Structure 1
């Protein structure tokens, strides 16, 4: 079920299975340059259990592997009331972002308790000792994005923070009259951060008017609306609940359809030198 508000609806997975009589008309695509995992793939049969998580299932929609995501993993988590984990992150070198799309959770860190509901965002630095519990009467559903933090001598590791997107402004792209804008949780010039997880908003009819081709790897989960997205050489229709992975330098562009906003949660790796091979 989706968590709905007037201004900020968020798609959340519902699970279940198609009927035996349904035709195979899905849109899933996996190529050398991009992948499209549509919402219809988020079924019960493809969930995973995780060590030390209680009353929890996860849809793993990205993981580091050859020919796919190289810099990050992304889970869609569903935690039943009272469930959660006292040992959520097994990798001391991993940083994480939690973005809540339904229900409510409480994250405990450094003696403090932080309640997050739909739109809530947490950044958890490497080495942080945090716990998470689902609160309320509905299942908590959230994205969990994990990345191996790249330390740089002389630059501090960023501290944890907790926000809600409703509290933050939209930053419009130049000369777009607000038709294309970004909600930033981290300032672009903050070199402590080596990843950005932001929300991109396009109003109906808004466009990304050129084929972006750049070094950042992308993960895009559509939170609301629909669009036609350029992925490498293809134009594909996407809608709320779909996930797109784009490898570095994969061309991308977008036309937002109506009648509502097109919004997606965007991951990208930033602010670090390219790693050089040694031969």
Structure 2
């Protein structure tokens, strides 16, 4: 991604879901589990230009395959553009696990953040607009022996860097858990001067496949009585997990019916260049 792209183009690239080219073939007699979690955020229309900016990304994957195969993938990207022509912060994180067989587990975690320091004079109003998208997917072939889970969260915080006081915050999270029966979780916390202007929630369940999407947009605006040094921190976390365990059988049973599985893998953009600060550099700024 090149920094001379327009802000609209960058926001579109970071917020548009794409199916990756990774396709895993599942043997006719095996089961498939899919778990995916992805999120994207764009911040723009800032009233003030930041005095300092930073980004942070982190990923982690784990796989254990005793009988079967499992793939875990995690990606995270973040960018904060602040020059004479453009002012935009955006980040993307995605986690996905897909497996086949009857005894394995997989875990994928991703995190992305953007950080900006701002100097606000007395009686000035600091503001910016926000767009967020969070998408989850779980799919199992045998709910009695397979588990798929996907969770995602997005949080915002405005901190007075002189007093180290949290001034405003906004966070929400969603989760999907497929084991015997699908379960849905939703958490939401709004404190301060965030004003959501649009919230779209979509839930779809078809057979043992479940997807959940949450889109929000809004505005942050606050007028300060005195000169204030602000730190804006936006963080997203995405976790996907899949597990299959053999089902104990007390007596011989007939040969199971052949199951034809078509593997789907959930993903956003991959092979994206990580920008700005590494983990240690960002931790020192928060």
Which bin holds the TM-score, normalised by the shorter protein? under 0.3
Q: Which has the higher contact order (CA 8 A, sep 6+)?
A: 2
Q: TM-score, normalised by structure 2?
A: 0.22
Between Structure 1 and Structure 2, which shows a larger proportion of strand residues?
2
TM-score, length-scaled by structure 1: 0.23
